Amino acid sequence: MPPLNLGKQPPKNPLTADLAWQTTAARAAETVLFFDFDGTLAPVRDDPTAVHPAPGVRTAIEALAPVVRRIAIVSARPVDFLRDRLGDLAGVDLYGLYGLEHSHSGGETITEPTALPWVPTMADLADEARTELPAGTLVEYKRLSVALHWRTAPQLGPAVTEWGRIRADQLGLRVQTGRMVLELKPPVDRDKGMVIDEVVRDAGGAWYFGDDVSDIKAFTALRARAAADPRFFGVCVAVANPETGQEVAAAADLTIDSPADLGDFLADAAHRLR
């Protein structure tokens, strides 16, 4: 099993991976496992289109799916991208674009109706970004959002961020920060925390694995569910990285060293839960 580091925990009730899986085993059929994609199930790459799950991840998810109540991937990526990388896995739900799209266990993709009128705006915005932003900026068009990446040219971060925030204000869009990326999306009330809140309402437990600041909302949703129901067991897991890792780890219960370690960690979990 990969090395684990404890996140911040109340000193009177320290949580370890062993204890967390033991507790989960008693309620596995009531437990939902949530995963972010980029930086969690898959390493972050310079080219977002070249990203694939880390070794062992897909096999481990296939092994876990029949054991737990549900597995859900909650990502900034579109559902079609997630399906292409992970396949139509039975018992696995895909929530794309922070929940603006979803597909249950390989079913059709459903889009949030209130977001659809913004498709032309996002297409025009992507064209503007490609024309106006400096060379080295990678513009990722996702139909209902536009992500502006500067990973291959870190010095462009301030200029790209300023341009993105100005255009967001002008167009009435919302901004999501991330790891060397600024994402502009429609002003629709939908985020990872809201997805988690809806899915766990009648669950007995849940784990959330994430690496970026948008995942902190998911952590918060699990904490709120546990506060409302003492029988609910929630675990927040941060995947370490040099960019947002410290902030996310500070909000988590446990930390995994990298996406490359996650496959082994989940394979061990499948063995424990069986």
What residues act catalytically?
36
* 60: Cβ contacts below 8 Å, ≥ 6 apart: 262, 263, 266, 267, 269, 270
Find the distance separating the first CA and the last CA of the chain, reported in whole Å: 17
List the structure tokens of 219.
């952590």
Query: In what side-by-side order are the strands of the sheet with 70-74?
Result: 4-6, 254-256, 233-239, 205-210, 31-35, 70-74, 92-96, 101-104, 110-111
Question: Can you read off the two tokens belonging to residue 107?
Answer: 């079913």
Task: Give Cα 17 to chain centroid, integer Å.
Answer: 20
Do 107 and 123 form a contact (C-beta atoms < 8 A)? no
Which H helix or E strand runs over 249? helix 245-250
